[in-house]
Chain A
């Protein structure tokens, strides 16, 4: 059975790591060695290596070994298992927001509320690493992201199109793009997680229409299926399919295919999180300036704004034997020097959550489009998963069905409401 197989692999993996840590610990008796677990993927590893290099140069008595773990649901499982068995690395990078709440931060993570650097961390980030008892358990690693729509600037200038602020404008653009023989909207349902942007990225617009949606949603009082504003995301997902605006191979295309189609101008729009800028920059450097970004269009042009994703948190495991050294590392990551090390590795991908961090002047076009939303007069709201711990695990399958015409938007929204119930019960929230 798949389940027991996974367990033994995990157990073996965990045991192997224990042996490794034990060996390396004795080899460097006078220096402290920390283990640092990051998600696999080029961006994460490059960032971690750059941070560790800069940190070790400044702190010669602390050495850091980087381990990687798979991302996605597989990674969630690994994190939970290692925390539960007390085999977690000293420091690790993991999502903030609802996934952070699911790893029982109060019990498993070291309290970082009293650290001096917390004064420089932006409040918007502090909220998403706050345990239920009100203590802060994480430091920001990486940059803030937006969830919206990438567009190909060449197609836009060739066809004389304007960046749309409303859904009607967006669909009008799509009609012109289709008439010009290009793919209006790229969808990549082989990687199911990429299908969620129309729904998740629309939360700014939901929040404008119903400011208390998140609170009520957490308390089991508001539902996607019965809130006209929240339903919009599912409807938009179905609209682009019904209008025939998707690439022909939308069911079999992958995330990488999507980036290729967007960067090379095969397709005009790709709904995605802005972290994809890093991948476009490394894979299609010659096309990086052809790619722009705008927030999910809503109903009212005057009230258009961006749904924002917070960066991951850096956490210290409660079972760590080197908590002081780990705290020194966390302080470095949440400092301007830490931001610089990250920029050195990846370039500018978005705004940092630490005051005093700056970005280079020369940023990719899509990042330049992103930054104003985060600025003083910007219109931005955190995604639902950062303001409510409730996030259903099956959204990506549901949006694939809605986006392939298998299920109606109303049905999809109702199904998602059922799906979140399990998560809420698992977290033991009141009212479910």
Chain B
């Protein structure tokens, strides 16, 4: 779903003529059945169960009680703020770093292909594997990062155990892992800009900075839209990295909405966690749909 949105976002829509198709509408049926069984039915069922107190063995209908409880959840407000911080931070850094790497890796530099694969490599590694590795590296006393800092006389902080730092540390690891994808999207975007513009600008006497601001940045806009949407959606529903690194800890300080929901599920509050998922679904839709419409309308009108 996210990929489809993103792909559609990058392209102005082409008006289609209605041609009578030789295929009967029945051909939709297999897809409709799969869609209904695997998506529509669970979605409707979750809407229903989000309004029940559900133990898996039996359920009681309690109306909007779960939603009220979920919003009263003391960790939820913190989790909501953390989610927004996390999404904005990872998304922002991926755009900036992805663009920089994209420009760098499309220019004529030494070992370009090798560097491209180096930047992309972290994307291929399993998220949980990355999480566990960085947890070891970020250990406050025995981790490689702080031991290296100690060599130059700096006393490193508790990256994952200091409540002020934990969320930011995880976000930085997320950026390390995800920036490769943003870079690849930017490379594709930048490569598709016609060389003629750069030549014309150079003849007019534009320097490298001016060429970047006036040609690369505006014409790479579809790539920016894609990166922003993808990383924002990813950031809002981010779970696996946070769970494998801090489990929302220390305490509740790095909890995001997804981890709050998962904890409710673990505790056996199935109705409550289903309600949480409905809230997450609505939240992601509320942020992404207007943003996508906004970004794409600007794109078309240009």
Which of B21-29, B139-147, B180-188, B223-231 has 4 or more CB atoms under 8 Å from chain A?
B139-147
List of B residues within 8 angstroms of A428 by Cβ: 53, 60
- Which of the residues A3, A415, A426 comes within 8 Å of B53, measured between beta carbons? A426
**Beyond the given A192-B247, A404-B251, could you list 8 further A-B residue pairs with CB under 8 A, ordered by the A residue number?**
A2-B261, A6-B265, A80-B55, A249-B140, A252-B158, A252-B161, A401-B252, A404-B250
A74 to chain B, nearest CB (A): 7
A27 at interface by CB-CB < 8 Å: no
A365 at interface by CB-CB < 8 Å: no
List of A residues within 8 angstroms of B75 by Cβ: 394
**Do residues A393 and B267 form an inter-chain contact, with CB atoms below 8 A?**
yes
B249 to chain A, nearest CB (A): 6
- Which of the residues B55, B249, B251, B265 comes within 8 Å of A3, measured between beta carbons? B265
* 5 A-B residue pairs with CB within 8 Å: A77-B266, A80-B55, A189-B161, A393-B269, A400-B250
**Do residues B163 and A406 form an inter-chain contact, with CB atoms below 8 A?**
yes
A182 at interface by CB-CB < 8 Å: no
Q: Cα distance A423–B273 when bound, in Å?
A: 13
Q: Which residues from 240 to 271 on chain B have a C-beta closer than 8 Å to any C-beta of chain A? A: 240, 243, 247-253, 258, 261-263, 265-269
Interface membership of chain B positions 162-206, coded 1 if the CB is closer than 8 angstroms to chain A and 0 otherwise: 110000000000000000000000000000000000000000000
Which of A100-108, A223-231, A374-382 has 4 or more CB atoms under 8 Å from chain B?
A100-108
List of B residues within 8 angstroms of A81 by Cβ: 56
Q: Cα distance A394–B73 when bound, in Å?
A: 11
- Which of the residues A251, A406, A423 comes within 8 Å of B160, measured between beta carbons? A251
**Do residues B249 and A400 form an inter-chain contact, with CB atoms below 8 A?**
yes
A260 at interface by CB-CB < 8 Å: no
Which A residues contact B (CB, under 8 angstroms)? 1-4, 6, 73-74, 76-77, 80-81, 83-84, 102, 104, 107-108, 189, 192, 248-252, 393-394, 397-398, 400-401, 404, 406-407, 415, 418, 422-423, 425-426, 428
List of A residues within 8 angstroms of B269 by Cβ: 393, 422, 426
Given known A252-B161, A404-B251, contact A3–B273 (CB-CB < 8 A): yes
B292 at interface by CB-CB < 8 Å: no
Q: Cα distance A248–B162 when bound, in Å?
A: 12
Given known A1-B277, A4-B42, contact A398–B251 (CB-CB < 8 A): yes
**Do residues A77 and B42 form an inter-chain contact, with CB atoms below 8 A?**
no
List of B residues within 8 angstroms of A415 by Cβ: 74
**Do residues B251 and A407 form an inter-chain contact, with CB atoms below 8 A?**
yes
**Interface contact tally, CB-CB below 8 A:** 111
Q: Which residues from 253 to 298 on chain B have a C-beta closer than 8 Å to any C-beta of chain A? A: 253, 258, 261-263, 265-269, 272-274, 277, 280
B110 at interface by CB-CB < 8 Å: no
10 closest cross-chain pairs (CB), A and B? A251-B161, A401-B251, A393-B267, A73-B266, A84-B56, A249-B141, A104-B57, A400-B251, A252-B139, A397-B251
B189 to chain A, nearest CB (A): 30
Which B residues contact A (CB, under 8 angstroms)? 42, 53, 55-58, 60, 69, 74-75, 139-142, 158, 160-163, 237, 239-240, 243, 247-253, 258, 261-263, 265-269, 272-274, 277, 280
List of B residues within 8 angstroms of A104 by Cβ: 55, 57-58
Q: Cα distance A81–B266 when bound, in Å?
A: 12
List of B residues within 8 angstroms of A76 by Cβ: 266, 268
**Do residues B268 and A77 form an inter-chain contact, with CB atoms below 8 A?**
yes
Given known A406-B251, A415-B74, contact A102–B161 (CB-CB < 8 A): no
**Do residues A80 and B56 form an inter-chain contact, with CB atoms below 8 A?**
yes
List of A residues within 8 angstroms of B142 by Cβ: 249
- Which of the residues B56, B237, B243, B249 comes within 8 Å of A1, measured between beta carbons? B237
**Do residues A77 and B158 form an inter-chain contact, with CB atoms below 8 A?**
no
Q: Cα distance A317–B262 when bound, in Å?
A: 27
| Nearest neighbor of A189 in chain B, beta-carbon distance | B250
List of A residues within 8 angstroms of B262 by Cβ: 2-3
B276 to chain A, nearest CB (A): 9
| Nearest neighbor of B141 in chain A, beta-carbon distance | A249
Q: Cα distance A400–B166 when bound, in Å?
A: 14
Q: Cα distance A249–B141 when bound, in Å?
A: 6
B97 to chain A, nearest CB (A): 27
A132 to chain B, nearest CB (A): 13
List of B residues within 8 angstroms of A6 by Cβ: 265
List of B residues within 8 angstroms of A252 by Cβ: 139-141, 158, 160-161
| Nearest neighbor of A108 in chain B, beta-carbon distance | B57
